[in-house]
Amino acid sequence: MGGTMGQDFIRQKICDGVMFNAITDPKFKTNRLSVNLITPLNRQTVTGYALLPFLLRKGTRTCPDFTALNRKLNQLYGAYLGADVSKTGDSQIITLFIQSLDDRYALENEPVSAECARLLCRLAMDPNFVDGAFPEADVTLEKQNLSDIIASEINDKRTYAIGEMLARMYENEPYGLKKYGYLEDIAAVTPKSAADAYRRLLETAAVELFFVGGGSFEDSFAVAKEYFAVHPRKGEIYRSDFGLSPEKVREFTETMDVAQAKMVLGFRVNAAPGSEDRNPLRLMAALYGGTEHSLLFLNVREKLGLCYYCAARYDRHKGVMLVDSGVELPNIEKAKAEILRQFDRVQSGDFTGDDLNAAKLSLINAFGSVGDSLSSLETYYFGQVFAGAADPPQVQAEQLAAVTKEEIVRVSKLVRLDTVYILKGNQSAPKEEAAHE
Amino acid sequence: MNKQTVANERIGESYRKIKHPSGLTVYLYPMKGFVTSYAVMGTRYGSVDCRFKTGRDEDFVTVPNGIAHYLEHKLFENEDCDAFARFAKTGASANAFTSFDRTCYLFSASSRLPENLEILLDFVTSPYFTPETVEKERGIITQEIRMYDDNPDWRVFFNLLSALYHVNPVKIDIAGTAESIQKIDAPLLYRCYNTFYNLNNMALAVAGNFSEEEVLAVCDRVLKKAEDIMVESVPPKEPELPVKQYAEQKLPVSLPMFHIGFKETPWDEGGFGEQKGMSYAHSCAEVFLEIFCGEASPLYRELYDQNLINASFGSELMMGRGYSCFIFAGESKDPKAVYSRILSALEDYRRKGIDPEEFETARKAVYGRIVRGYNNIESTANGLVLSHFYGITLFSSLESVSAMTLDDVNALLKTCLKRERGALSVILPA
């Protein structure tokens, strides 16, 4: 029954600085290949690099027209080509990926996967340069698109509040930077400077390719080798700094025309990314606020009825724990006191064996399901690679199962509140109801 | 027990459809190599079901908006214990959702399927509401509604539906309003429960790693036979034309957001002309939208190059029980310009028809996307429940795309996406 038995994680070197990772399982009908360029977050380069995936997504030297490129994707059974930017620890990651139907399901036996791999590699490595620079029209449009993305951060208040809290908590530290960069730095980008940024990124980034899917990775590997083994690179995955305890808790409040206030609490975790404490910490955060059986859910939501969501999450790549909640403004202090009171309970061991067991079972269940989806497999193994490990999910599950209450209490003492951020409504502003009759 | 196998030779997949003696229809889709099992139990009951009766009732009753969703929240509590607390002992990840025309309860588990399934079937069939427990939930749901009040994507969507629909409850937020939920109490929840949570009105789907025997054994043990009570849910009669063709609201957003909608005659009321059923109409629409405004279309390129849309642009045909509408959504510095360009491009297609080569390419793309969906345990199980409520099979869209002709897609344009049935909803930056 166990499908994960066949899911070996294969990691091969293409050349210095470029690695190819593969997980295959015939149960999938899809293949997914991604190219990830990993580089340290830096205020000087973050915006210019954030523009690159969107510029690369526009076309290649061999297929410079955006519409023709998309038609080609439709001919490849609606292959999905994605471009995005993410942040893991103190690194910025520029990603291009393609997801397509496995060859077994093609109607005329077309080699869909190999063609998709070639298209993706061309987009990443053979851009549509005009006199050594990106086409001016593309740069103008994609600068606007990136501006829209950056500005639209305020649209989702929950994500916005988390971003603003992190920017304040990690002020003057790389982790506080926004992954898409800054509006004020976009204007200065030119077709030439974008091309220079591209060359510099390729020269310095750690390159990780991931193939996850139902087909064979051999064709994709051969194509990737052809494009990426051209010359070795210097890139290495950069290790994140981890937080030391704050002198005192800092509080920030921002006002916006919102109906519901948002509160985000940032805690520093004094444990190195990848340390032995990562699984006890993960479990501690789940017990505290990661499940429907957690202390936060049962008390802040179910018992006091103060909110719809109140959750804790631990980011092991950085060593930070966040708690966020949406509450009515008059209840903010009450909610904050309860959130902190529940954390005191964790630190003093005031929780039951059932509480701990529920958190364990929930995480073990999640690790047990990793092998059943392409995206969770990629996310999981990317996390392993990022932390310099290659353990299968079962190993994490076994380690979690063995964590004791004493360990939870011990690691919870590595965690200290650093920053509180509140986004509150401008209560005097009249509520806009124009759209309702 | 009536058991049948539903198979698709094209992709070599099949599932089982079983009418359980209790009245419940059970769908089983074992997926080789998967470790997880995912089960979803749904009832044909959503936010639009505000006016209904059973065969035993004399008259129709009208209930407050948001009650289906309120009921979903409350069903997790049973007399002696909370369903989440029971799942906490197995590790399964449980959840529920309410949509316009259905409510579903689900779990995903990498072990202990029979135990988890027993919890699911048991809590969904054991309501327990008291004035106190109903009251406690009001604060939590009010916060959920308030959260959506701040969500511009949600507001722009419901403002569109309010512009399109005069009386159909699809125009009201699924969770209701802070006012409407004040009127919800335990007796009303029981009335809705006893009407819609009849096993004959429900379906269970399990996908992933399990055996037919173990699922049926749990059903036999937990489910009691239910008499079919003939539920009738009748929405108020909806006029053909929209209420108004423009709506706007100001919220803290960066760029104006827009939803452009075209109200169609619902598929279950003879809409979509001579199309061959719901799934066929939906697939034709999907292929048309790919040709008309997908990333490979001239229209997408033109709007993008003129900086009138950005990468957030998308389109769909939303279809459910008693409502159907096309939606084009995105962000734009000038939503009115986008709307007017879409209207004129539709006229162009009506006049010139669709290019056969573009049709074939779009059809291939839609085919690939549908097959890729069969990878996923969650979407397979959810799709089975949805197909059941719409009287189609999980393979209907795949077959529709394979059988589709260019004429059918051109015919869609004759009856749908009419200018006089359109409306534009905009969120402007505050």
* B109 occurs within a structural domain: yes
For residue A255, the enclosing domain spans 250-425
For chain A, how many structural domains are there in total? 2
For chain B, how many structural domains are there in total? 2
Q: Which residue has the higher pLDDT, A428 or A304?
A: A304
> Are B229 and B256 in the same domain?
no
CA distance B130 to B190: 10
pLDDT digits (tens, 9 = 90+) for A101-154: 999 999 888 999 999 999 999 999 999 999 999 999 999 999 999 999 999 999
The last residue of a domain, from among B233, B263, B287: B233
> Are B142 and B166 in the same domain?
yes
* B240 occurs within a structural domain: no
- B290–A435 C-beta distance less than 8 A: no
Cβ-nearest to A358 among B88, B300, B331: B88
> Are A398 and A267 in the same domain?
yes
pLDDT digits (tens, 9 = 90+) for B317-362: 999 999 999 999 999 999 999 999 999 999 999 999 999 999 999 9
> Are B281 and B418 in the same domain?
yes
> Are B191 and B259 in the same domain?
no
Q: Which amino acid is at A146?
A: L
> Are A194 and A280 in the same domain?
no
- A365–B111 C-beta distance less than 8 A: yes
> Are A281 and A214 in the same domain?
no
User: C-alpha angle with apex B286: A81 to B388, nearest 5 degrees?
Assistant: 110
Contact residues, chain A, for B157 at CB < 8 Å:
none
Task: Return the pLDDT at B275.
Answer: 63
Distance from CA of B233 to the nearest CA of A (A): 26
For residue B150, the enclosing domain spans 2-233
* B238 occurs within a structural domain: no
> Are A9 and A141 in the same domain?
yes
Residue B132, number of CB atoms within 10 A of its CB: 8
> Are A207 and A331 in the same domain?
no
> Are B182 and B282 in the same domain?
no
Task: Return the pLDDT at B402.
Answer: 92
Contact residues, chain B, for A373 at CB < 8 Å:
375-377
% pLDDT > 90, chain B: 91
> Are A261 and A385 in the same domain?
yes
The last residue of a domain, from among B172, B201, B233: B233
The last residue of a domain, from among A198, A228, A258: A228
CA distance A92 to A42: 8
| Cα A398 from chain centre | 25
- Over residues A377-399, the mean pLDDT reads 94
pLDDT digits (tens, 9 = 90+) for A161-198: 999 999 999 998 999 999 999 999 999 999 999 999 99
pLDDT digits (tens, 9 = 90+) for A197-255: 999 999 999 999 999 999 999 999 999 999 999 877 877 777 777 766 677 999 999 99
CA distance A181 to A145: 13
* B239 occurs within a structural domain: no
Contact residues, chain B, for A71 at CB < 8 Å:
296, 361
> Are B226 and B251 in the same domain?
no
* A436 occurs within a structural domain: no
> Are A298 and A393 in the same domain?
yes
Distance from CA of B144 to the nearest CA of A (A): 5
User: Could you give the angle at which helices B335-352 and B298-305 cross, rounded to 10 degrees?
Assistant: 160
Task: Return the pLDDT at B274.
Answer: 62
Return the closest-CA partner of residue A47 out of A135, A136, A133, A143. Answer: A143
Query: Hey, of B70, B146, B288, B370, which one would you mutate to test binding to chain A, going by the most A CBs within 10 A of its CB?
Result: B146
CA distance B102 to B100: 6
* A242 occurs within a structural domain: no
- B140–A357 C-beta distance less than 8 A: no
Task: Return the pLDDT at A241.
Answer: 78
> Are B276 and B169 in the same domain?
no
Cβ-nearest to B368 among A77, A306, A360: A77
CA distance B297 to B315: 13
> Are B91 and B116 in the same domain?
yes
User: C-alpha angle with apex A376: A370 to A381, nearest 5 degrees?
Assistant: 85
Sheet holding A9-15, edge to edge: A9-15, A18-24, A206-213, A30-40, A91-101, A80-88
- A67–B88 C-beta distance less than 8 A: no
Give the list of residues 6+ apart from residue A415 with CB closer than 8 angstroms, or none: A267, A268, A269, A270, A281, A284, A321, A343
A154: CATH = 3.30.830.10
- B252–A258 C-beta distance less than 8 A: yes
Phi, psi at A286, each rounded to 5°: -65, -45
* A293 occurs within a structural domain: yes
Give the list of residues 6+ apart from residue B129 with CB closer than 8 angstroms, or none: B74, B77, B186, B189, B190
Q: Are A93 and A37 in contact (CB under 8 A)?
A: yes
pLDDT digits (tens, 9 = 90+) for B267-284: 888 888 766 788 999 999
> Are B148 and B91 in the same domain?
yes
pLDDT bracket for residue A60 (50, 70, 90)? very high
Contact residues, chain A, for B253 at CB < 8 Å:
152, 154-155
Return the closest-CA partner of residue A258 out of B152, B150, B151. Answer: B150
Task: Return the pLDDT at A245.
Answer: 63
> Are B324 and B192 in the same domain?
no
Task: Return the pLDDT at B272.
Answer: 82
B417: CATH = 3.30.830.10
Contact residues, chain B, for A27 at CB < 8 Å:
31-34
In this complex, how many residue pairs, one in chain A and one in chain B, have their CB atoms less than 8 Å apart? 220
Residue A9's region, left for phi above 0, alpha for psi from -120 to 50, else beta, is beta
The last residue of a domain, from among B199, B233, B267: B233
> Are A94 and A33 in the same domain?
yes
> Are B67 and B198 in the same domain?
yes
Phi, psi at A301, each rounded to 5°: -90, -60
The last residue of a domain, from among A167, A194, A228: A228
- B366–A137 C-beta distance less than 8 A: no
pLDDT bracket for residue A427 (50, 70, 90)? low
CA distance A55 to A142: 6
CA distance A356 to A377: 26
> Are A33 and A156 in the same domain?
yes
Give the list of residues 6+ apart from residue A54 with CB closer than 8 angstroms, or none: A83, A142, A145, A146, B311
> Are A254 and A223 in the same domain?
no
Q: Is the pLDDT of residue A400 over 50?
A: yes
Closest residue in chain A to residue B12, using alpha carbons only: A105
CA distance B213 to B218: 9
Task: Return the pLDDT at A273.
Answer: 79
- Over residues A16-36, the mean pLDDT reads 96
Contact residues, chain A, for B140 at CB < 8 Å:
301-302, 305, 307-308
- B290–A74 C-beta distance less than 8 A: yes
* A221 occurs within a structural domain: yes
End-to-end distance of chain A based on CA atoms, in angstroms?
57
- A101–B368 C-beta distance less than 8 A: yes
DSSP reduced 3-state for A319: coil
* A37 occurs within a structural domain: yes
Query: Hey, of B34, B255, B428, which one would you mutate to test binding to chain A, going by the most A CBs within 10 A of its CB?
Result: B34
Q: Which residues pair with A333 in a beta bridge?
A: none
DSSP reduced 3-state for A108: coil
> Are A162 and A64 in the same domain?
yes
> Are B254 and B151 in the same domain?
no
Give the list of residues 6+ apart from residue A373 with CB closer than 8 angstroms, or none: B375, B376, B377
Cβ-nearest to A28 among B84, B140, B375: B375
Closest residue in chain A to residue B243, using alpha carbons only: A437
Residues of B designated as active site: 72
* B394 occurs within a structural domain: yes
Query: Hey, of A4, A23, A71, which one would you mutate to test binding to chain B, going by the most B CBs within 10 A of its CB?
Result: A71
Distance from CA of A139 to the nearest CA of B (A): 11
Closest residue in chain A to residue B113, using alpha carbons only: A365
- A6–B151 C-beta distance less than 8 A: no
Phi, psi at B406, each rounded to 5°: -60, -40
- The upper half-sphere exposure of residue B241, i.e. CA atoms within 13 Å in the direction of its Cβ, equals 6
User: Which residue positions in chain B have pLDDT lower than 50?
Assistant: none
CA distance A276 to A409: 15
* A53 occurs within a structural domain: yes
User: What does chain B come to in residues?
Assistant: 430
> Are A214 and A281 in the same domain?
no
* B351 occurs within a structural domain: yes
- B364–A75 C-beta distance less than 8 A: yes
In SS3 terms, chain B reads as CEEEEEEECCCCEEEEEEECCCCCEEEEEECCCCCCEEEEEEECCCCCCCEEECCCCCCCEECCCCHHHHHHHHHCECCCCEHHHHHHCCCCEEEEEECCCCEEEEEEECCCHHHHHHHHHHHHCCCCCCHHHHHHHHHHHHHHHHHHHCCHHHHHHHHHHHHHCCCCHHHCCCCCCCCHHHHCCHHHHHHHHHHHCCHHHEEEEEEECCCHHHHHHHHHHHCCCCCCCCCEECCCCCCCCCCCCEEEEEECCCCCEEEEEEEECCHHHCCCCCCCCHHHHHHHHHHHHHHHHCCCCHHHHHHHHCCCCCCCCEEEEEEECCEEEEEEEEECCCHHHHHHHHHHHHHHHHHHCCCHHHHHHHHHHHHHHHHHHCCCHHHHHHHHHHHHHHCCCCCHHHHHHHHCCHHHHHHHHHHCCCHHHEEEEEEEEC
pLDDT digits (tens, 9 = 90+) for B285-316: 999 999 999 999 999 999 999 999 999 999 99
* B378 occurs within a structural domain: yes
Give the list of residues 6+ apart from residue A66 with CB closer than 8 angstroms, or none: A58, A59, B295, B301
Residue A53, number of CB atoms within 10 A of its CB: 23
Q: What are the b/e assignments for B308-347, b being 16+ CB within 10 Å?
A: bbbbbbebebbbbbbbbbbbbbbbbeebeebbebbeebbe
Cβ-nearest to A151 among B141, B248, B255: B255
User: C-alpha angle with apex B95: B137 to A264, nearest 5 degrees?
Assistant: 70
Cβ-nearest to B34 among A27, A99, A158: A27
Task: Return the pLDDT at A344.
Answer: 98
